[in-house]
Every structure is written in structure tokens, then in C-alpha cells.
Chains A and B, each alone.
Chain A
Amino acid sequence: MNRRDGRFRKHFSASLTDFLFPVFQQELDTKHDKYERLVKISRDVTIESKRTIFLLHRVTSVPDAEDILNEADVKLDGVRQKIGLIAEELRGEDIHQFHRAFTPGIQEYVEAVSFQHYIRHHSLISLEEINARLVFMRTETHDAQVLTFQVTPSDYLLGVADLTGELMRMCISSVGNGDINTPFRLSQFLRQIHDGFSYIGNTGPYEVSKKLHTLRQSLGKVEDACYTLRVRGSEIPKHMLADVFSSRTTLIDPDEGVV
């Protein structure tokens, strides 16, 4: 190292703060800003999806579910528009770089849309069906552009895992409304889903293993409700059915502290 290093150093020092790091700053800022925008949209998706789920629960207390289902359609269309915004932000990006930003919203959407599907068709919506409705047309300039959002298998799994909780709630409220058929149908469906998750085991994302525990509890509650209805259903006046169900479950949960 010799005398020329004095000048070299000064030049070098300027280049770090004048050239090198400002570029990094911009790149990082751009990425963070996009991440934040996605988090915001994802929050909106979560809120609207949750509201749709609350709405859908009302089908157990009305004779005709059609109005509620139509209203849910409108809400879910709104959610899909928001997912379209996510798709736009992700245009040209590696979606996995931002996955953590929008995965909560997407899981909630899967939960809502699969809930609606079950109420209508008594079956599980497929990943393909979900993704088929996440195709967006963008007519900018003269060309129509097709933008898609693909829900990943793992987000689908997590959304379906959460769906089971809603199905369990639906089971409880339908019993409370004197509906004796829904619980049995739900129990069968839930069991199939639970078996599916058992089959997957730990090969899925680790959050699935966590949700499996809750899923087993939900299934247990539903199966107990069916047992109670079968064994004692005819003995109990309709308005007390819900009480029987809830006291039965409190018997099983010792840590709830009820005798």
C-alpha cells in the first residue's frame, strides 16, 4: 500500500456512500414497500373473508339458505377483486419472496370459499376450482391481459384445516336449532377431512401438524354430539338439545373446570 492510497481511499469512501449503498437502499425500500402493500391487502382479504364466514353461519337459523348464499357470493367476489390486486403486485415477482405477506389472507379466503361450497354442495371444494376463479382480466392499452393467482397446496391445506373449526360450530348451532340431520352429515364429512390430514401427517407444512390437534378436538365434539343425539335424542325436548351437547363436551374437557 503506498501513497496513491490516500487518493484511492477518498475515492473509495465516496463510492460507498454515493454509489454503492444508495443502490442497496433503493432496492431494499422497494422490496419492503411492496411487502407492506401486500400485507395491507391481505388484511382486507382476511376481514372480508371472516365477515363472509359469519354471514354463512346464519344459514342454520333460516329456512331458505339461498339469500344468504347469494349475499356471500357478492362478498366473495369483492374478496377476489382484492386478490386480483395481490396478483398485480406480484406480477413479474417471485411469489415466494412475498408469500408470508399474503398467506394469512389467502388461508382465510380458502376457509370462506370452501365453507360456502360445503353449504351449497355438501362437498369439499377442490384446489383447482378455487384457482379457476382467481383469473383476472386486465384490459390495459389495447391488449387484454390475463392475470392469475394460484393458491398453493399448502395454503389450501391450512385453509381447509381452519374450515373444520367452522364446520364444528355449524354442527353445534344446527343441533341447537333442532336440526338432527346436519350433525350426522357434518360428522361424516369432517371425518373424511380428518382422515385426509392424518394421511398427510408431517409431510405438510409444520403449521398443519399444529392444526391437526385442533381438528381432532373439533371432530371429537361433533362425534360426541352425534352419539348424544343417537342415544338420547328422542328423549330430549328440542330446545334442550343444545344444552345436552354443551354439557356433554364440558364433561370431556376437564381443564374447563366444570363438573
Chain B
Amino acid sequence: MSVTEMFSYIQGFLSADQDVREEIRKVVQVLEQTAREILTVLQSVHQPSGFKEIPSKCTKARELFCTVRTQVADLKTKFPVEQYYRFHEHWRFVLQRLAFLAAFVVYLESETLVTREEAAQILGIEVVREKGFHLDVEDYLAGVLIMASELSRLAVNSVTAGDYSRPLRISNFINELDSGFRLLNLKNDPLRKRYDGLKYDVKKIEEVVYDLSIRGLAKEMDTVGDK
């Protein structure tokens, strides 16, 4: 093979690669749009009026996740399944966003942490790489950390809206999350940097709880339930 022939062959390969990436980009753009729509729906819970409407917002978000599943199914067709990580960078951001939104919906519904399996199910993807297009554990964890920030904001806005018990529950939840994350041996990578932000969320929520308790506004969760 001459030099020219070799480069011609390589060019063909690179060209085909670019075409695949272009197709992927198009679907990811659509996915990002849907993610923004879900975020718009869920963000309204921060409004004082929004608190009562949480269940209906969760339902609306769940409906939008249907659309997500369809769009993800389309994304899967754009490249060979065993080359997930070759193109992973293209959807990493939106998948983390979607993991966050799934975690947020589940929290609003049940005040629990969405499991990786549940998050994957909501998005219509696998958990295990060998089974197909999957949710990488680091992307799931990144989504959870994004949610932690959202919850610290929710704690603040709950107080403003007059709900003084929610911040306590959020505080317990975030502290448990923090204990969980402490078990991980993280490298100096983006996940580690995002995890470093968690302590600020913890602190912010602690301050809210402190503000409530010294003013006698904080009540134990049990007594709230008894009312």
C-alpha cells in the first residue's frame, strides 16, 4: 500500500466516524431539549405555590420521561452497541442531567434515593454494560450530586414557603448521602470535583436547620406526622 492509499483509507474511516458522531449529536440535542422541559416542570416546586402541586408535577415529569425513553431508543440505533465508550462523551452531559432529574422526581415522590436500577429504568437503558446502552455508575453518581444541590436549594425555599419540616428531612437525607459518598475512593477527576461541592450543600442545609431550631420552628418529623 502506498502512502497515498494508506491516508485515503484512513480518511475514509475518519469521515465515516464523523458521520456517526453527527447523527449522535442530532439525537442528543433532542434529548437535551426534553431534559430542559422536565427541568422546567420540576423547578417550579421551588415556588411557594409549587409545593402543593408536587404530585401533579411528578406525574407530568414521568410523562416526559416516556418521551426520553423513545429518544434514547433512537440514540441506541446510531452506533454499534459495543462502542458505547467511543462516543460516550457526546451524551455524558445529558445523561447526567437525566439521572439528576430521575433522582429528583423520585425524591419528590418518596423522599428516597433512586437506585441506579430505577434510574436506568426511567431512562429506558441498562445498568450493566454488557447488556447494552447503560448508565455508567459515574454518570449516575454525578446526577445524584446535582440533585443534592437542588435539594439544598429546596430546603431554603421550603422555609420561605412556610414548610419547616421538609428541611429537616432533606438534612437527614443529604447527610446519609454524604456518608455513602465517603465510602468511595475517588480519583482526581470531574466526579471528585463534583463531590467536593457536596460539603457546601451539607453546610447550607445545616444552616437552614440551625436557623429553624434556634427559633423553635423546627419540629421532629414524628411530631409533624402525628398532627
Contact = CB atoms under 8 A, between A and B. Distances in A.
Interface of A: 1-3, 5-6, 9, 12-13, 16-17, 20-22, 24-25, 27-29, 32, 94-97, 99, 123-124, 126-128, 153-154, 156-157, 189, 192-193, 195-197, 199-200, 203-204
Tell me which of A6, A154, A193, A203 has the highest count of chain B C-beta atoms within 10 A of its own C-beta: A203
B221 A20 contact: no
B6 interface: yes
Interface in B68-94: 82-86, 88
Contacts, number: 114
B1 interface: yes
Given A196-B6, A203-B18, A96 B180 contact: no
A25 B88 CA distance: 22
A138 B14 CA distance: 32
Interface string B1-31: 1111011111101110010000000000000
B14 A96 contact: no
A32 B185 CA distance: 9
B177 interface: yes
Given A126-B6, A203-B14, 4 more contacts: A6-B222, A12-B176, A94-B82, A96-B85
B200 interface: no
Given A94-B129, A153-B14, A21 B181 contact: yes
B179 interface: yes
Contacts of A96: 83-86, 88
For the complex of A and B, 9 pairs with smallest distance between CB atoms: A196-B7, A21-B180, A96-B85, A192-B3, A2-B225, A97-B85, A96-B86, A16-B180, A94-B85
B115 interface: yes
A99 B88 CA distance: 12
Contact of A25 (B179, B184, B222): B184
Contact of B180 (A20, A28, A99): A20
Contacts of B215: none
A12 B221 CA distance: 15
Contact of A20 (B10, B15, B82, B113): B113
Nearest to B5: A126
Size category of the binding interface on chain B: 35 or more
B10 A3 contact: no
A121 to B, nearest CB: 12
Contact of B179 (A17, A27, A32): A17
A125 to B, nearest CB: 9
B111 interface: yes
Nearest to B225: A2
Contact of B10 (A2, A21, A28, A157): A157
A94 B14 contact: no
B222 A193 contact: no
B225 A200 contact: no
Contacts of A204: 10, 14
B211 interface: no
A1 B169 contact: yes
A196 B137 CA distance: 41
A82 to B, nearest CB: 23
B177 A16 contact: yes
A13 B129 CA distance: 28
Contact of B224 (A1, A22, A27): A1
Contacts of A99: 85
B10 to A, nearest CB: 5
Contacts of A32: 185, 187
Contacts of A95: 85
Contacts of A203: 11, 14-15, 18
B141 interface: yes
Contacts of A21: 180-181, 183-184
